[in-house]
Amino acid sequence: MPDFPVNKAPSTPAKPGAAGLDAHSGADPFIMQLDGRGQIFVANGLKDGPLPAHYEPLASVIQNQLYKQQNNPTLREWDRSDNPYNGQVNPRYPYVLTTYRITELSGVYTRYIPWLAELQPEAFCEIDPELAVEKGLKNGDYATISTAVGEIEVRALVSGRMRPLRIAKGQRVHQIGLPYIFGNFGYTSGDTSGDVIPLAMDPNVSIHEAKTLTCDIRAGRRAPRGRVAQDDAVPEPERSRDGQPLIHGREAGV
């Protein structure tokens, strides 16, 4: 990112020993770099550098059109029974799912404010009219979104703002938008998108891969889940092989 005072000419020499921008010559304005030079690739520091490349997300609807390598080989994955992945180009999950925030609610705490909750009172997904017809969904109906991890029910918001993507030799792919700020607590209601997103991270800054994944969608509500009401007995905690209780599948105290 270049930045320099308006009146600093490119021919201005660097001042040795000076602080800040004065230490850079007029021709070296890139303030994010130590030497002030622009870079076309990252010399060091990245785990998957140095040159940028295109990889498909972990769960994609198409093969990588640029390389034989489908995913980023340095992607951080968790191969565990409670974190199943959809798999690459799995016909069971033919739709692209993307998650985002909405203006009205920005996080858990905003769900507790009635003035914000009334603006977006229930979890919803956005789908295009074509997919709605295909799946028998009307605007405002309950839809169930499923991945290998689980399934959630949300209201369907059918809008021409969503449009099928035309990718890879004319293949038409429907995308489903899923705002991710809904959950169990607060004035708003609805399932959390976290229940359908597996854990996978980028190798450098551990950003969770929740922006592109694949899913299936059907009309109707999901099966009820959780402890059945009459079953009041506290379930026995899962235990590891040496008899220690497991917390969220992770061995306690580790």
Partner 1 sequence: MANGFFTDTTLCIGCKACEVACKQWNELPSDGLAFTGMSYDNTLRLSGTTWRHVAFVEDREVGTTIVNRWSMMSDVCKHCTHAGCMEACPTGAIIRNEFGDVYIQPDVCNGCGYCVPSCPFGVVDLIEPFKPSAAKAAEYNTATLDRERLSEGALQSHGGIAGKCTLCYDRQRLGFTPACAKACPTESIQFGNVDDLKARARKRVERLRERGVDAQLYGVDETTSVGDLNAFFLLTQPPEHYNLPARPVLPSTHQPAGYAAAALAAAALAVAGLAIFRGR
Select 60 or 175, whichever has its Cβ closest to partner 1: 175
3-state SS assignment for residue 108: helix
3-state SS assignment for residue 180: coil
Neighbouring residues of 84: CB distance < 8 A, sequence distance ≥ 6: 148, 149, 198
Binding segment for partner 1 among 76-84, 114-122, 196-204, 242-250 (CB under 8 A)? 114-122
41 makes contact with partner 1 (CB under 8 A): no
Binding segment for partner 1 among 57-65, 76-84, 186-194, 238-246 (CB under 8 A)? 186-194
Neighbouring residues of 166: CB distance < 8 A, sequence distance ≥ 6: 172, 173
Select 161 or 241, whichever has its Cβ closest to partner 1: 161
Cβ distance 59 to 67 under 8 Å? Answer: no
Tokens 């304005």 map to which residue? 29
3-state SS assignment for residue 246: strand
153 makes contact with partner 1 (CB under 8 A): no
152 makes contact with partner 1 (CB under 8 A): no
Select 127 or 200, whichever has its Cβ closest to partner 1: 127
202 makes contact with partner 1 (CB under 8 A): no
Cβ distance 193 to 37 under 8 Å? Answer: no
Adjacent-strand bridge partners of 216: 146
198 makes contact with partner 1 (CB under 8 A): no
58-97 mask for partner 1 (x: CB under 8 A)?
A: ----------------------------------------
Rounded Cα distance, 85 and 81, in Å: 10
26, 47, 188: which is closest to 123 by C-alpha? Answer: 188
Select 41 or 185, whichever has its Cβ closest to partner 1: 185
Select 58 or 125, whichever has its Cβ closest to partner 1: 125
- Residues near partner 1 (CB under 8 A) are 102-104, 112-122, 124, 128-130, 139-140, 155, 157-161, 163, 187-189
